[in-house]
Amino acid sequence: MTDFDVIVLGSGPGGYVAAIRAAQLGKSVGVIEEKFWGGVCLNVGCIPSKALLRSAELAHLLAHEKQEFGITGDASVDFAESWKRSREVAEASATGVHYLMRKNGITEISGRGTITGPRSIEVRAEDGSVSSYRFGDLIVAVGAIVRLISGVELSPNVMTYEELILSEQLPESVVIGGSGAIGVEFAYVLKSFGTQVTIVEFADRVVPTEDAAVSAELLRQYRKLGIDVRVSTAVESVKDTGSGVEVITTDVATGDSEVLSADKFLAAFGFAPRTQGLGLEAVDVQLTDAGAIAVDSRGRTSVEGIYAVGDCTGKMMLAHTAEAMGVVAAETIAGAKTMEIDFDMIPRATFCQPQIASFGFSEEQARDRGFEVAVATFPFMANGKARGIGQTAGFVKIVANAQNNELLGGHMIGPEVTELLPALTLAQQWHLSADEVARNVFAHPTLSEAVKEAIEGIAGHMINL
């Protein structure tokens, strides 16, 4: 039996970051991974999807906008080559994780880990052999599983993001169940390469966790792209016919049913914390009512010496949330100075087109929490850089406390807005008011000037609108 100061179960964004931070702080560290070194994000999620999205943007430009940019002649983007590049990008990222493990003296353990006691875990390798390890502290970072709804079972034509992103072949038509990040990102990729796309969303608006104004703008832009978007519509069942799928839907308001036919169905209803098969019951780790691993603000579970980070805790299920939690957990274990996470203010990024980026409270949420709210919005149509690059859809919306102009939330939809978030979250974290942020000099011409203008709107002196 091998001993480690810290064992990390799972090598995704939360796991490998926690492992590195623990090693930096002088701990001996082992990481157990069953399938994807680097996790879903690097292998079949965040990273390869961004490679596909970049190709989709170029495909859309060549098909619909080349005249605007003076592009002549015949040109197109080949999906097979784009897909090949996305796999190369993913593999390079995963290779980078192995490099980081070696660089930091971390031991890689391949196999399925199961907790067997308060300080022990066993790992079953692919060949069936079993090894046992002891730990001083354990960090569980096993992520989440795809959430399915009643009436939907996976099959050759009923897919999750994983099967779709690993497929070199494009369907001619697809129905996507759900309009969260995965649903709207894949919708843009598929539509840009010529697939007929229908989105079915139970809520009364797309990307329903975003500010209502952002939802309305994305719906407008997606319908302009020719994507068939059905809101207030329930997926009742999906039948795999062998040659395609039949999707029975119901209008939430009227109760009317409709059958949608397509080649494929993408289940994008969200995720559920992964907690089964880990041996949590062997040490009585408590779960929340929602079935996630219950943790405190440092990632500590109900069992001393066992921590959990990332999606398995049911916190905001984003890679950067897991990374931040991993750092805090490692620093807590090592007795190092750390800083707890304000989960209400975690940034959110959706890489549809136009992109969506947000943090904090929506206007409605801020009012519901009793704040006297000030709101300012600046459209990208009035931003010089946006006009120059030909991407003027969308806006920056700032929500602030009217009593002191401190930021409560930011909601953006438009070109590269995911890159504009740090200026806002940094200001919020250190309690800068809009008046103070407005005194920062933003370079010209940049998209970030739209943030400056919206901030100046809160401060009372917006210039360019």
Give the closest residue to 193 by CA, choosing from 84, 57, 85, 72. Answer: 57
Residue 306 phi/psi, 5° resolution?
-115, 125
On whether residue 340 sits in a domain, the answer given is: no
What does the pLDDT look like over 362-394, one tens digit per residue?
A: 999 999 999 999 999 999 999 999 999 999 999
> The CATH number of the domain where 360 resides is what?
3.30.390.30
Q: How confident is the model over 33-80, as pLDDT tens digits?
A: 999 999 999 999 999 999 999 999 999 999 999 999 999 998 899 999
Please check whether residue 11 is in contact with residue 27, taking contact to mean a CB–CB distance below 8 angstroms: no
Q: Which of 334, 367, 386 is the last residue of a domain?
A: 334
Question: Cα–Cα distance between 438 and 403 in angstroms, integer?
Answer: 17
pLDDT per position as a tens digit, 79-120: 999 999 999 999 999 999 999 999 999 999 999 999 999 999
Statement: residue 402 has pLDDT above 90:
yes
CA gap 311, 151 in Å, rounded: 25
Q: Quote the number of domains for the chain.
A: 3
Question: Does a structural domain hold residue 72?
Answer: yes
The predicted model scores a pTM of 0.95
On whether both 116 and 29 belong to a single domain, the answer is yes
Catalytic residue, candidates 60, 98, 320, 444:
444
DSSP state of 106: P
State the residue range of the domain holding 92. Answer: 2-146+272-334
Confidence of residue 282 (pLDDT cuts 50, 70, 90): very high
239: which strand partners? 246
Token look-up 């995720």 returns: 271
Are 308 and 328 in a shared domain? yes
Q: Is 444 labeled as catalytic in the residue annotation?
A: yes
Give the other-Cβ count within 10 Å of 313's Cβ: 26
Shared domain check, 108 and 13:
yes
Place of tokens 């692919």: 126
Predicted pLDDT of residue 224: 97
- Does any domain span residue 348? no
Question: Cβ neighbours of residue 166 under 8 Å, at least 6 residues apart?
Answer: 44
Q: What's the pLDDT at 392?
A: 97
Do the domain assignments include residue 312?
yes
Q: What is the mean pLDDT of residues 228-246?
A: 98
Res 1 pLDDT > 80: no
* Pair 274, 144: CB distance under 8 Å: yes
**Residue 76 maps to which CATH number?**
3.50.50.60
Predicted confidence band of residue 2 (pLDDT cuts 50, 70, 90): confident
- In terms of domains, do 242 and 293 share one? no
The string of pLDDT tens digits covering residues 121-157 is: 999 999 999 999 999 999 999 999 999 999 999 999 9
Identify whether residues 141 and 281 lie together within a single domain.
yes
Give whole-number Cα distances, 294 to 222, 299, 311, 315, 335, in Å: 38, 9, 11, 10, 21
pLDDT given for residue 36 in this prediction: 95
Distance separating alpha carbons of residues 294 and 285, to the nearest angstrom: 8
49-52-54-60 Cα dihedral, nearest 10 degrees: -130
| DSSP category for residue 328 | H
**In the block, residue with structure tokens 């602030």:** 400
Residue 309 domain flag: yes
What confidence tens digit (pLDDT) does each residue in 159-194 have?
Answer: 999 999 999 999 999 999 999 999 999 999 999 999
- Same domain, residue pair 61 and 113: yes
pLDDT over 80 (residue 457): yes
Give 173: exposed, middle or buried? Use CB within 10 Å, 0-12, 13-18, 19+.
middle
User: What is the pLDDT at residue 162?
Assistant: 96
Please state, as a whole number, how many other Cβ atoms lie within 10 Å of the Cβ of residue 439: 11
Same domain assignment for residues 278 and 257: no
Verify that 9 and 136 share a domain, yes or no. Answer: yes
Are residues 28 and 118 located together in one domain of the fold?
yes
